[in-house]
């Protein structure tokens, strides 16, 4: 699963990299986002989505933890932070979103915990070039009995590639930039066209680095959460 990740790149860099339609071009204003070094479920995070066929890419803040449209209460989202790519097209909670409400979850690294003597050692997993990338995500708009609609998302996961498998047996689906357009297009609803995208990332793309156990607490959200441990030891 994926239970923590980072979004530490400047929002302007993210907007350019993901070819977001700017406000002066008819898009929506970019959200104000502070660097996040230990982003946790139920918190707001930037995603890229397209709302109608042929529309521009929008960069907006949604809450992490998918709430299906039929949910009776928001708390269900706390348990739906990830969705298995292998079954997402058939699961009642996700199949409609898989057809029409797909998104890119913006990130520049994620954490997994490796079992070691005396506990679990957190590792930061990121691209070797340190650039932002995207998880495959689904989003939902849920209307509570009272108040404004709440928009939420989940991250799709798959089997770990050999690099990540040394730490954990699952990993988020990392989409290749060439596949962003297909994944975001709400006119594409055929699972046979989408399912081939949901595979482990190439192992040469990623590196894993042991980091401080400070990331174990979501209260810690500073740059030292992503500092590699000297010598790769435990801390």
pLDDT in tens, the chain (235 residues): 799 999 999 999 999 999 999 999 989 999 999 999 999 999 999 999 999 999 999 999 999 999 999 999 999 999 999 999 999 999 999 999 999 999 999 999 999 999 998 899 999 999 999 999 999 999 999 999 889 999 999 999 999 999 999 999 999 999 999 999 999 999 999 999 999 999 999 999 999 999 999 999 999 999 999 999 976 555 5
Within a domain: 40:
yes
Structural domain range at position 88? 5-229
Residue in 60, 103, 112, 225 annotated catalytic: 112
Provide the whole-model pTM.
Answer: 0.96
Within a domain: 235:
no
Within a domain: 14:
yes
pLDDT confidence of residue 232: 55
Residue 60: active-site member: no
Residue 225: active-site member: no
* CATH number for 23: 3.90.1680.10
Within a domain: 234:
no
| Total of domains in the chain | 1
pLDDT confidence of residue 233: 55
Give CA–CA dist 148/101, Å, rounded: 19
150 with 74: CB under 8 angstroms?
Answer: yes
Within a domain: 96:
yes
Within a domain: 41:
yes
Within a domain: 132:
yes
Within a domain: 66:
yes
Which residue has tokens 């923590």? 4
pLDDT confidence of residue 234: 55
pLDDT confidence of residue 108: 97
- In sequence order, what are the residues at sequence separation of 6 or more whose Cβ sits closer than 8 angstroms to the Cβ of residue 142? 67, 68, 69, 71, 74, 149, 150, 151, 152
């Amino acid at each position: 699963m994926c239970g923590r990740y980072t979004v530490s790149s400047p929002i302007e860099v993210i907007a350019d990299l993901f070819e977001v339609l700017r406000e002066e071009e008819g898009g929506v204003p970019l959200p104000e986002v502070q660097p996040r070094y230990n982003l946790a479920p139920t918190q707001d995070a930037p995603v890229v989505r397209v709302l109608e066929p042929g529309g521009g890419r929008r960069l907006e803040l949604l809450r992490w933890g998918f709430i299906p449209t039929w949910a009776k209460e928001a708390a269900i989202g706390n348990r739906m932070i990830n969705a298995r790519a292998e079954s997402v097209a058939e699961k009642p909670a996700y199949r409609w979103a898989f057809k029409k409400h797909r998104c890119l979850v913006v990130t520049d690294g994620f954490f997994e915990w490796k079992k070691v003597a005396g506990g679990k050692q957190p590792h930061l997993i990121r691209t070797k070039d340190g650039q932002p990338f995207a998880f495959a995500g689904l989003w939902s708009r849920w209307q509570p009995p009272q108040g404004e609609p709440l928009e939420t998302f989940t991250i799709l996961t798959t089997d770990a590639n050999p690099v990540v498998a040394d730490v954990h047996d699952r990993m988020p689906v990392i989409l290749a930039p060439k596949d962003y357009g297909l994944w975001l297009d709400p006119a594409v609803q055929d699972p046979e066209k989408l399912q081939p995208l949901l595979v482990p990332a190439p192992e040469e793309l990623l590196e894993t680095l042991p980091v401080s156990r400070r990331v174990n607490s979501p209260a810690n959200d500073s740059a030292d959460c992503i500092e590699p441990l000297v010598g790769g030891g435990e801390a």
